[in-house]
Each structure stands twice: as C-alpha cells, then as structure tokens.
Structure 1
Amino acid sequence: MDSSAKPLISLLSHTLIILFLCFAPFLPSVKSIPDYNSLVYKTCANQIFTTQSGDSYAQTLSSLFQALISQSSNSKFFKTTAGDEQTAMSGLFQCRGDISDGDCRDCVGTISEIANNLCGETVAARIQLFGCYMQYEYETDESSSPDNSGSPELLYKTCGESMATAEPSGFGEMMAAAFAAVESGVVSNNGFYRVEYEKVVVLAQCGGDLGGCDCGECVNNALQIAKDGCQNSVSGQIYMDSCFVIYTYYPDGIPGDSQPEGGGGGGGGNNTGKTMAIAVGAVAAIFFGFLFLAFLKSRGKKDEDY
C-alpha cells in the first residue's frame, strides 16, 4: 500500500468511530410515531352467540371484516352489511382524517386481527385505536340504527398528568381560543380539524355520517367535558359516540411534527421526526464510510501482493 494512503485511512477510521459514538445514543429512540395501531378503548356487548350459531357468526364476521378492509385503502369512512337474513351483521370503520391511506388500512386491519381476542364472540363491539375505530353488531328484528338525534353520549375519557405547578399566565385564554377554533373549524371542514395555537395542539373529528349541526353539538359537548373533567391536565382524550377531541399542551412550545398525545402525558415532547432523520443519516454515513474504508484496504492489499 502507498504510504501516503495510510494517514488517510487512519483519519477516516477515527472519524467513523467518533460519528458512531456520537450518534449511537440516538439510535434506540428511532421509532415510528405516532402509533396509530395502539388501543385506546373497547366496548363489548354482554350477549354472546350461542354454540349453534357460532360457526355462522364467525363466517359472517370474517366476511364483514374483509369488506371493511377492502375499502380502507381508499376511504376514511365506510359502512356495510354482511350475511343473510338470519346471520346479517352491520359494521363500519372510520380513520382519522390526517393519516395516509396505507396507515388507515393497517389500522383497520389491526382491529380485525385483534377483535376476537378483545371481545370474543359477542354480538356487538366497538374498538377504538389511536388512528381509527370499528364497530359492528348482529342485526336482529329488535335492533335498529343508532339515533344520532339525541344528546351525544360519552364513551371514554382520560386526562393526562396534572400540571406540577400553578397554571401559567394566560393558559386558560390559550385553551379557550384553541377549543373555540377547533369547534368552529370541524364544522366547516367536513368533520375533521386540527389546530395549533400558541402552545396547544387540538384535534377533533366527527362520525362520517354526522351532519354539520350534530357534529358541532357533539364536539361542543366533548370540549365541555374536557374543560370540566381535565381542568389542570396537560392533555386529554374525549371520545363520544359520534365524535372525539384530543389535545396536548406543550409548555416549551409545540415541537415539529407534533401530534396531540391525548392521555399519554404530553407536555414538552421530543422532536422525534428530526431525531430520526439525523440518526438514519448518521447510520448511512457510517455504513458507506466503512465500505469505503474496506475498499481502500482491499486496494492496498492488492498493491502489496504485486
């Protein structure tokens, strides 16, 4: 090997080692967020299918799941029925308005995979993941479609951590302005709206078949529950039967690529998107650097052989 190449190889080796040591602490934190397939809540009917109807139920439910999944690649909301007059089941899914078609399909597919484990052979269920929900029920002569004309019903509520200290100055006004903006925006934006206001991220969505006035009423009820039930919390999730609201307060300012974290604690979060990009770039640089180093050593060995 040419003696002039040895210092270059030595310098490159030390540089790659330093890069690896600098970026190694970031590598374990590289993950895909948010996790749209994480379970938020489930409601399962108490009534189960009898042994005699169990096989028919399983076959009909499987057909229903397949029909819903097939539509989830190109639609955020879809409802249908499956089975015959004796085994008819109705079902629907809805994905968040800000997720991709691929994430929507993955989310709906995840529900179909875990539904039996979560609820077993119940005649009806509703399963809410962070990115989507699905509900289904066995159609009987007594069953009827949900009546959306009544008052919205609270299905699930969770509040994040309470503030360790007193509320910062202007916090109440900040939350009120963000809530008002999302309440107004969700009606005029086809049932889905996301707001970033100062240090708050709020997201609201209504059911795909809910009218504008009913959507506004549902979101208003959810926001009132958040105000009353999560007063001193930095985050919250309010799921009604036909809409939901999730929000997060970031005391250090809203980070890039932020998502409302709901009941997960929130408040401050890391800029994971940028961290992931830096870490992936570092891994690529280290990988190609080692390839280049191996190439130089191989060339040097061939020169020595000659």
Structure 2
Amino acid sequence: MALPTRKFSSPFVIFLILSIFLVAPSYSGTDTFVFGGCSQLKFTSGSQYEYNVNSILTSLVNSAMFTSYNNFTMSASGGFSAVYGLFQCRGDLNNRDCNRCVAKALSQIGTLCFYSTGGVLQLEGCLVKYDNVTFLGVEDKTVVVKKCGPSFSSYSDALTRRDSVLSYLEAIDGTYKPFRISKSGNLQGVAQCVGDLSPSECQDCLSDAIGQLKTECGAAKWGDLYLAKCYVRFSEGGYHSHAGKNKRFRHLFNGGSSYLFLFIFLFNLV
C-alpha cells in the first residue's frame, strides 16, 4: 500500500484517509465497539516517536490483508522509545473482512487516542494495540469488560447447555486453538486468545475467564468477559449485549503506562 510522502500533522490522519477507502459503512458483526483506551502520556508532533507510530500502524493494516494476527516492533533509537504493536482478527473472518475491521479500528483509535503514546481498541471483529512499553508475549488477565444479560425465566436446562458450551471452549485436545466456538441447541459460545500468548498461557487465560463468567453471569441469557489477553462470550438465541449502543471506555493498567478508559455515551464513530 503506497503512502504519500508529505508530512502528516497527526500520526493518525493517514488511517482516517485509509478508512474512507477500506472500510464499508457499519460492517455488521465486525465493527461494533467493545472497549478501548488511551495512554495518558502524549508524544510531540513531528517527533521520531510519531514516525515510529505511523510505521507500526501502517504495518498493522497492511499485514491484515494476509493474516489474522501479527505484531511489530520499532526499536528505540536516538533517545526515543521503542513502539510495539499488534492486531488480531476474530478467527472466523476472512482476510478481506479482517483488513476492513483493522482499518476501521485504526481510524477510531486515531480519533480517540490523539497523540497518545499508547492505545488499544477492541471491536467485535478485531483488536488493535500499540504502546511504548512492551506487552508482547506478556500474559495479562486484567478484567477489561464484564457484562451479563437478563436471567432465564426457567433456566435448569439452559444452565446445563451453557456449562456444556463453556466446558467445550475450555477443553484441551492436544492441539493449539487460540480461537474456539461451541454450540448446544440455541446456545452458542466463542473464545479467543491474543496470538502472542503461548499455548499454556492461552489455556490459563481462557480457564480464568470461563470460571469468572460462570460465577458472575449465573443464569444469564448472555455473558461477555474480556480479559486483556483473551475473551469468552456466550449467548442464547438472539439475545446478546449489543455493545455498540453505548461506546464505553474503561480503565486498564498493564505494568507500564497507565491507560485512561473514559465512559463515552451517544458518541457515534461509525
């Protein structure tokens, strides 16, 4: 993807431009906002760090044309911090939809995290993150989103099916499956780890998320639990969280820079 040679006043302007061409309006099932946040630290326009962020984010959207996960590092030089970045798409997306989702996420994170040294954004179909503190290969089970639906009116059978779905998502069959889906009747579930985790770290993250989801959501018709490096979701029939109705930022720490997650309502970026 050829980039213009002119200097951009913002490291994210390029992604706002790219999104016009790459992102279809309201891509159902992939571009609904789930969570996001920005580092409280800012960088200076025209700095080497700005160039590094541009390079990382360009690499992310380009790579999403060919694969569902990748990470990149721009090494520290001349007194400027390194930049680390990754993207991951939901395991059932094809390359075209993955690329569209990542481009959409980058256009939104550029607006929300203007000049921030780090940012993270999770849409229904993809995750993007960059930072000046390494997070690659680091297991992180911080709870980022926890939401539960209304309870079943008669839930004995529903609980059995829910437990069956979640047990399947947690099961180990000797192969590494960072993306997992399961179904029992009209109750379905999905789970995914971020691709920088090892198989054992992925399993540990999912087991923790599933255990918390069972405890917190009880007999709910749907439940979402996003940890920093994995998520588990289940839903019964047509019921689900419809996360995009209220754009929501929460607070997340990951051992380095602190991320400020604000609560934003009636703020439509689509």
TM-score normalised by the chain length of structure 2: 0.72
CA contact (8 A) 1:111 1:134 kept: yes
CA distance in structure 1 between the aligned counterparts of 2:185 and 2:114, rounded to whole angstroms: 44
CA contact (8 A) 2:176 2:199 kept: no
Aligned mate of 1:54, from 42, 45, 63? 45
- 1:239 corresponds in structure 2 to 226
More strand by share: 2
CA distance in structure 1 between the aligned counterparts of 2:240 and 2:233, rounded to whole angstroms: 5
More helix by share: 1
CA radius of gyration, larger in? 1
What runs of 5+ residues in structure 2 fail to find an aligned partner? 1-24, 244-270
CA contact (8 A) 2:84 2:131 kept: yes
1:1-306 residue pairs with structure 2 within 5 A? Answer: 34-49=28-43, 53-56=44-47, 57-82=49-74, 85=77, 86-138=80-132, 143-145=133-135, 148=138, 152-160=141-149, 162-163=150-151, 166-184=153-171, 188-250=175-237, 262-264=240-242
CA contact (8 A) 2:84 2:134 kept: no
CA offsets 1:140-160 (integer angstroms, 9 cap, x no match)? xxx4445635x6221212223
1:156 partner amino acid: V
CA contact (8 A) 1:93 1:134 kept: yes
Aligned residues, how many?
216
What runs of 5+ residues in structure 1 fail to find an aligned partner? 1-30, 255-260, 266-306
CA distance in structure 1 between the aligned counterparts of 2:33 and 2:123, rounded to whole angstroms: 4
TM-score normalised by the chain length of structure 1: 0.64
**Is the partner of 2:183 in helix, strand or coil?**
strand
CA offsets 1:179-199 (integer angstroms, 9 cap, x no match)? 101111697352111111122
When the two chains are superposed, the root-mean-square deviation of aligned CA atoms in Å is 2.5
CA distance in structure 1 between the aligned counterparts of 2:144 and 2:41, rounded to whole angstroms: 19
| Paired-residue identity, % | 23
1:230 partner amino acid: C
- 1:273 corresponds in structure 2 to none
2:145 partner amino acid: Y
CA distance in structure 2 between the aligned counterparts of 1:132 and 1:77, rounded to whole angstroms: 9
CA distance in structure 1 between the aligned counterparts of 2:157 and 2:32, rounded to whole angstroms: 33
CA contact (8 A) 2:223 2:241 kept: yes
CA offsets 1:189-220 (integer angstroms, 9 cap, x no match)? 52111111122110011111212222111111
CA distance in structure 2 between the aligned counterparts of 1:33 and 1:123, rounded to whole angstroms: 28
